[in-house]
Amino acid sequence: MGKWTRRGLIALGVIAVIGGAAYYWLIMESGTSSQSYALDIAQVRRLADAMPGDKPREIHVEQVAAFAFPETAVVAGDSWNTTAIPVFSYQLVFPNSAAIVDTALDEKIGKAAGTVAFYPAAFARMSTALNKASLIVVTHEHGDHIGGLLVQPNLKQLLNAAKLNKEQVDNLQRYAPDYPRAAFQNYHPITYDKYLAVAPGVVLIRAAGHTPGSQIVYVKTQDGKEFLFLGDVAWHMRNIDTMRERARLITWWFLGEDRDAVLAELVALHALKKSEPTIHILPGHDGETVAALERDGLLKKEFQ
Ligand SMILES: [Zn+2]
């Protein structure tokens, strides 16, 4: 074997080892958290019940758009088969008012972000509902959750009903550099430590990690049914069932996420799902979970 052939083979071997390690680290491995995340559901329930007034009667859902990602992007180590990442907005219907949880995105943001489907009629119904809402909250400050609010022509007026947290507003620059700054002049975001009741039966739960402003929205309806809108702590229920995160290529390179924090939240949610099986957990982009809740009449199609 010639000297150069030998060197070439060694170099190829080194590249294969490095490549294999990189592939494992970026695509396959999920890892475990060095921290723990506490979710005191008894305290959340107390806060939800303490707020005077009628709780939501119904929860409605709109699917506004969809992405399609490889399964291993959603759950590290899964296959390269494509899986749906639908984009949702939710409407909590109270006897005399309504609230919106997440506002999806418009067609322009969607195209720029690579959506594979957009439903204009759903976006139009969401926009109409935003204008009638007495409360608007978002799980986090990413474009597919807050974008539908930011693009409204009367954003400044809508912000009167919006309870965005300080971290969500502070990080708009990072995630939505073109956002209309002027509308946020004199806007006072909410600040809270761990839990904050914002309406009868509705409690915000701090869950920083996916983004600094990430929060889970707990909802208890008038008939006592409980829901947790996770935002993108988990994209699919499988993240919670397996306690596995998105691929590191996604969380580290594309999202700049605090992976350690999210892994701890997945562990806590996994435990909660076991100990409180009647709570309906809604990951941020899980079409099967939403479809099952629609079949059971717990979510109603289309906003009112
Ligand atoms: Zn999302």
The pLDDT, as a whole number, for residue 25 is 87
The alpha carbon of 105 and the centre of ligand 1 are apart by a number of angstroms equal to 10
Residue 113 structure tokens:
């972000």
CATH number at residue 246: 3.60.15.10
The alpha carbon of 170 and the centre of ligand 1 are apart by a number of angstroms equal to 18
Question: What are the Cα distances from residue 268, in Å, to 219, 220, 261?
Answer: 18, 20, 11
The alpha carbon of 17 and the centre of ligand 1 are apart by a number of angstroms equal to 34
Answer yes or no: is 160 within a domain.
Answer: yes
Phi, psi of 168 (to 5 degrees): -65, -45
The pLDDT, as a whole number, for residue 1 is 60
The alpha carbon of 142 and the centre of ligand 1 are apart by a number of angstroms equal to 7
The alpha carbon of 232 and the centre of ligand 1 are apart by a number of angstroms equal to 5
Answer yes or no: is 173 within a domain.
Answer: yes
Average pLDDT over residues 47-65: 97
The alpha carbon of 43 and the centre of ligand 1 are apart by a number of angstroms equal to 27
Phi, psi of 141 (to 5 degrees): -95, 25
pLDDT at 111 over 90: yes
At 17, is the pLDDT very low, low, confident or very high (cuts 50, 70, 90)?
confident
Average pLDDT over residues 145-164: 98
Answer yes or no: is 102 within a domain.
Answer: yes
Question: What are the Cα distances from residue 78, in Å, to 189, 219, 261?
Answer: 39, 31, 21
The alpha carbon of 140 and the centre of ligand 1 are apart by a number of angstroms equal to 8
**Element housing 84 (H / E):** strand 82-93
Q: CA–CA separation, 246 vs 288, rounded Å?
A: 18
pLDDT at 3 over 80: no
The pLDDT, as a whole number, for residue 252 is 87
The alpha carbon of 144 and the centre of ligand 1 are apart by a number of angstroms equal to 5
Answer yes or no: is 143 within a domain.
Answer: yes
Answer yes or no: is 15 within a domain.
Answer: no
Average pLDDT for the chain: 96
The alpha carbon of 13 and the centre of ligand 1 are apart by a number of angstroms equal to 39
The total domain count for the chain is 1
Pairing of strands 202-206, 195-199: antiparallel
At 62, is the pLDDT very low, low, confident or very high (cuts 50, 70, 90)?
very high
Answer yes or no: is 286 within a domain.
Answer: yes
Pairing of strands 215-220, 117-118: unpaired
pTM (2 d.p.): 0.94
Average pLDDT over residues 112-123: 97
The alpha carbon of 106 and the centre of ligand 1 are apart by a number of angstroms equal to 13
Answer yes or no: is 148 within a domain.
Answer: yes
158-203 pLDDT tens trace: 999 999 999 999 999 999 988 999 999 999 999 999 999 999 999 9
Answer yes or no: is 5 within a domain.
Answer: no
The alpha carbon of 4 and the centre of ligand 1 are apart by a number of angstroms equal to 50
Phi, psi of 242 (to 5 degrees): -100, -10
The pLDDT, as a whole number, for residue 14 is 87
- Find the range with the poorest average confidence among 85-89, 121-125, 174-178: 174-178
Average pLDDT over residues 100-123: 96
H-only helix segments in 176-281: 237-242, 248, 259-275
The alpha carbon of 85 and the centre of ligand 1 are apart by a number of angstroms equal to 8
The alpha carbon of 12 and the centre of ligand 1 are apart by a number of angstroms equal to 39
Q: What is the domain extent for residue 186?
A: 31-301
The alpha carbon of 15 and the centre of ligand 1 are apart by a number of angstroms equal to 35
206-246 pLDDT tens trace: 999 999 999 999 999 999 999 999 999 999 999 999 999 99
Q: At residue 291, what is the residue type?
A: A
**In sequence order, what are the residues at sequence separation of 6 or more whose Cβ sits closer than 8 angstroms to the Cβ of residue 58?**
92, 93, 221, 300
